[in-house]
Amino acid sequence: MQHISETQLNQYQLLLLNSLETLRHSMTDILMRSNHTCHNLSAQQLQKISTDDLIELALKIEIPSITHKISTMKSIDAALNNIQIDMYGLCSDCEEPIEITRLNIDPTTQRCLACENRYKKQKHNEYKL
């Protein structure tokens, strides 16, 4: 059940890859400037390691400014994986197709509108408790 055309899928993939690349660059920059003793990798090496490894490394170093970048990177990575296994654009909760308008706003969207609202409500309630 694929509601996204091949052309659209390719566009999303391109968008995702571009933002991942940008993120990787700024992350490498931050890591290089951090002077943290737990990594001895050169910028060149950092550019070659997998996104997973880069995330792992960044998590170890715990620089507040990259925490947000890491979570964005994770969702981009997840979306790219979903493209690979033909599950892109399906809601992670109910597995129904996610509204194209939502994907156009944010290609890493993982939930349909109904589930997103339910999820937000749940989080909000947790927060209140």
Point out which residues bind Zn ion (CB under 5 A): 91, 93-94, 112, 115
Q: How far is the CB of 97 from Zn ion (least distance, A)?
A: 9
79 and 108 Cβ atoms separated by less than 8 Å: yes
Q: How far is the CB of 95 from Zn ion (least distance, A)?
A: 7
Q: Which is nearer to Zn ion, 59 or 113 (CB)?
A: 113
Joined tokens for residue 30: 């931050």
Q: Which is nearer to Zn ion, 105 or 129 (CB)?
A: 105
The angle at the Cα of 85, spanning 46 to 14, to the nearest 5 degrees, equals 55
Q: How far is the CB of 72 from Zn ion (least distance, A)?
A: 21
Q: Which is nearer to Zn ion, 29 or 95 (CB)?
A: 95
